[in-house]
Homo-oligomer: A and B are copies of this chain.
Amino acid sequence: MTDVARLAGVSHQTVSRVLNGHPNVREQTRLRVQAAITELGYRPNRAARALVTGRSQVIGVVAQNTTLYGPASLLAALEQTAAEEGFAVTVGSVRDLDRVSISAAVERHLAHRVAGIVVIAPVESAGEALEHLPKDVPLVTVDGDPRRPMPLVTVDQVAGAREATRHLLEAGHRTVWHVSGPADWFDSAGRIEGWREALREAGAEVPPLVAADWSAASGYRCGQMLARMPEVTAVFTANDHLALGVLRALHEYGRRVPDDISVVGFDDVPEAAYFIPPLTTVRPDFAAVARASLDLLLAQFESDTVGELRQTIAPTLISRQSVAAPPR
């Protein structure tokens, strides 16, 4: 920086002002400084800036399994959005979403003086951890516990599930079965709730819940059960991979989709359109979630609004060929 200043014939402070887009710099000076920067290939040291300002232009993300489609998409969207705002993103993935692991990951981020933290905390066990975190950095939870008083962005699971279920009822099915995600995920809970609500609203009978995890494997096992129950004509699965497993089981038992049984998934993974048959599913808007999360962080940077701030992102039903009227 000193070199740049010397070459441009100004003080280092003026260089700093140019770098930070300070208003009171003469146009001519600015150009001279920029020329010097280019000529020397100067690159500001963000570590030094972080030291003096106490905040780096980095946002920390805490997530559990960034291999799953949902978290991976969200992470990518966050990175994209953050980059647009001039922030870098560091990932702190975590083996389990328990209190100790989350605290450790947050501590790691704090040691780097990140400007803010996004915690993807979709399970029960994460909730408590978040309340006991140091309060000295803006924090937003995604898919977190709706009952806790923290800045939170979530996909509207209830609305999505309700829409999926209603879609099946409107196709003429008397009721809809649900293969749910793991019991401790808020996503599961929300989807179950939406499913139940839609059934109740329509006055339909609520069949027993079929509990699974998120994997195609467990979907397959549940599918083997459902396939042998002739009264099952419509299934809403908590995600697309479960749907895939169900589809395969139904196929093996010779039950045709959608002729004999209709299936709706959740997530709209890119290959859902190429399942056999193409899957009707619910698409969450990850970009919007990322945008909202970042906005909530940015808002906290400006004012210290410790907020009950909350954003809910509505998902969209994507209609394909896995839904039809029930057999008569």
Contact = CB atoms under 8 A, between A and B. Distances in A.
Interface of A: 43-48, 50-51, 56, 58, 65-67, 69, 72-73, 75-76, 79-80, 83, 88-93, 107-113, 215-217, 219-220, 241, 244-245, 247-248, 251, 270-271, 273-276, 278
A48 B51 contact: yes
A107 to B, nearest CB: 7
Contacts of A76: 65-67, 93
Given A47-B47, A274-B219, A93 B79 contact: yes
B251 A270 contact: no
20 contacts: A46-B112, A46-B113, A47-B113, A56-B112, A58-B90, A65-B76, A66-B79, A67-B69, A67-B72, A79-B93, A88-B92, A89-B90, A89-B91, A90-B90, A215-B270, A216-B271, A217-B274, A219-B274, A241-B270, A251-B276
Nearest to A45: B113
A58 B112 contact: yes
Contacts of A91: 75, 79, 88-91
B47 A217 contact: no
Contact of A56 (B47, B66, B80, B247): B47
Contacts of A244: 271, 274-275
A43 B54 CA distance: 13
B274 A216 contact: yes
Contacts of A107: 43
